[in-house]
Amino acid sequence: MYKTTAKIDGMMCSMCEAHIQEAIRKGIPVKKVTASHTKGEAVILSDQEIDAAQLHAAIDPTGYTLGELRSEPYEKKGFTLFGKR
């Protein structure tokens, strides 16, 4: 699994966050996406690394501006029924 952090300019409120999240979900196969207008970014969890061109294709039509992308392997933390993962 991968965690991708995408800087996004233009988000001003929670409705902007929802708009970005919906656009990303529709354009890219993701496990989870969370956008924050205060941080100016979206955090995306996916099985595969996200292609920058795919992300641009999903976000550009919304009127927001995609900036820097950071991708890293991600392992879910926490406890299972039998103890720590």
What's the CATH code of the domain at 13?
3.30.70.100
Q: N- to C-terminal Cα distance for the chain?
A: 15
Q: Quick check: is 28 in a domain?
A: yes
Distance from C-alpha of 1 to C-alpha of 27, rounded to nearest angstrom: 18
Taking a C-beta distance cutoff of 8 angstroms, is the pair 49, 40 a contact? no
Q: Quick check: is 44 in a domain?
A: yes
Residue 5: partners with Cβ closer than 8 Å, 6 or more residues away: 41, 42, 43, 44, 69, 70, 71
Q: Which domain holds residue 12?
A: 2-76
Q: What is the pLDDT of residues 19-73, one digit of tens each?
A: 999 999 999 999 999 999 999 999 999 999 999 999 999 999 999 999 999 999 9
Q: Is the pTM of this model over 0.95?
A: no
Mean pLDDT of 6-31: 97
Q: Quick one: DSSP state of residue 20?
A: H
